[in-house]
Structures are given as structure tokens and as C-alpha cells.
Amino acid sequence: MSELPTFPAPMPTVGVAAADAYLEHGYHTVPGMSSRFAAAVCGRLLRLQTEIGLGGPIAEIGTFEGRFFIALALALTPGEVALGIDLFDWPNPQVLERFEANCLQHGLDAERRVTWKTDSRTMQPADILAKVGGKKLRFFHIDGEHSRDALTRDLDRAVAVMAPEGIIVLDDMLHPGYPTLMVAVQQWLERNPEWCPLAILDRETIVAATKFVLCRRDFFKSYEARMLEVFKANVWPLGADFEPHWCLVLGLDTRLAAIT
């Protein structure tokens, strides 16, 4: 009889001391709704990119008080910067001050990040590149306005500034509060067939919801092979059917449904 998977599966680590220390001790002290599991996976993906020689800036739309942003930024190498984009007006204007304070408290100095208070609906790809010194991005986390139109616009802007091997991560997919976001993603993928789902990061709770990880098809196999090794304890055996594309599913609960 095959060995049953351990439940819960182990929490991944980033492999960068500052990022792992933050995830262990600081992550849940910063207000937000993002999943620690997803943050650990995304941080490890950044480390994987570094290991294969891919460097460059990263960006996040929807930083709020910085919970997820700090985890990503601490996984970068010296000289790389993280761009945080937000309106910084909810629930009050002081959220910007709290974001800056959280970054400093958890070791993310000002020279390692760029804070951009703006409306993502009006920014252009050239504006994004200008904020990071003209360099193409290797990673883009999208957690902006949760409407189909806004998500589609953010995806288009992200693609326009991405390095060929870049990764895009989408927040709150399959969330019961935003069921039409999946429609926007599927339609976008049909219009952009050079891109495909690389992985689904399973939810921890309803609020710490599923994320989709996207990459260009040319790099799917190489990323998949490395992820199968790095995240082998977190791979759900059946994977995800995106019709006709299959991709990985990573989670803390990798058990199959029991037949009773």
C-alpha cells in the first residue's frame, strides 16, 4: 500500500534567512489577508529564479500594509528593488505611513523598495519601468481592484513590463466573493496563448484565498521540473485541468478525497 501524504504538508521555506525569519515571526503581525503558505511559495519561486540566473525588480499592485510585499522583497538579492503600488487610501490615508513603518520594522530599508501611491487604472507600462530604472520585471503580484475589467488591465500592463522568464501571480482566484475573476483570467489566457497557468496555490482559508501563477509557455516545462522537486511535499497529485492545459496544484492539504 502506498504511503498516505502527511497532513498538513510542511510549510515551504524561502531559503533566504531574512525572508524565512519574517515569515516565521513577523508575517502575521502585519495586517492583511494573504496566505503565509502562498508567500512562502512565491518567495521560494523568487529564490529559484535567482538560482537559475534570473534577476531584476519585482512589483505588487495592492500592497495594503505590506504583509505579502515584505515577504517578496526580503527574498531579493542585493541591488534588486521591489515596487509597491497602491492607492493607499483605505481604510484611511494613514495606511501609507503604516506600510512604510512595517517595511522598516521588518528590515526592508528604503533603498530596497519603491513606494508608488497611484491608481493602477491610469498607469502605463512606461511609468512602471521608469520606477524600477528601466529594467524588465521578473515577478509581478496582482492584488488590485477585484473586477474583471481591472484584472484584465493589470494583466496587460504586467505582461508589457515582464522579462521573458517572468512570473505573474494573481490573488483571490476562486474566492467565493469574486467568482467572475476566473472568467476574466480564462478569457485573457485565450487571447494570450503564449501564457499559461504554471501552478495553483491552494487556499488556507476563505480570506487567504487561492492564487494562480502564470508564465510564458516557453518556460513552463523548465519551471515545472524545478517546482516538482522544490515543492514535492506540497504537490496535490491530480493537478489542475485548465482545458487543455494541466498545471501543478500546491497546498498544505495534498490528500485526495476519501471514497465513503
Please state the domain extents for the chain.
17-250
Residue 1: band (very low, low, confident or very high) from pLDDT cuts 50, 70, 90: very low
Q: What is the mean pLDDT of residues 209-221?
A: 96
- Whether the per-residue pLDDT at 13 is higher than 90: the answer is yes
Residue whose C-alpha cell is 480564462: 186
- The highest-level CATH class for domain 17-250 is alpha beta
Q: How far is CA 201 from CA 103, 171, 195, 212, 234, in A?
A: 25, 10, 17, 6, 10
Specify burial of residue 167 (Cβ count, 10 A radius: 0-12, 13-18, 19+): buried
Q: Which residue has the higher pLDDT, 1 or 113?
A: 113
pLDDT at 69: 98
Kindly tell me if the per-residue pLDDT of 101 is higher than 50: yes
pLDDT at position 189 is 97
Q: For residues 207 and 177, is the Cβ–Cβ distance under 8 A?
A: no
What does the block give as the cell for 122?
491610469
Does the N-terminal peptide bond of residue 78 adopt cis geometry, omega within 30 degrees of 0? no
Res. 2: pLDDT tops 70:
no
pLDDT tens-place string over residues 18-71: 999 999 999 999 999 999 999 999 999 999 999 999 999 999 999 999 999 999
pTM of the model: 0.95
The predicted pLDDT at position 206 comes to 84
6: number of Cβ within 10 Å? 11
pLDDT at 3 over 70: no
Ordered strands of the 113-117 beta sheet: 113-117, 82-86, 58-61, 137-142, 162-173, 210-216, 195-201, 246-250, 240-241
How many residues belong to the chain?
Answer: 260
Buried b (16+ CB within 10 A) or exposed e, 230-257: bbeebbbeeebeeeeeebbbbbbebeee
Q: Which residues contact 105 (CB under 8 A, 6 or more apart)?
A: 26
Residue 247 and residue 197: Cα distance in Å, rounded? 6
DSSP code of residue 64: T
Average pLDDT, the chain: 95
**SS3 state at 201:** strand
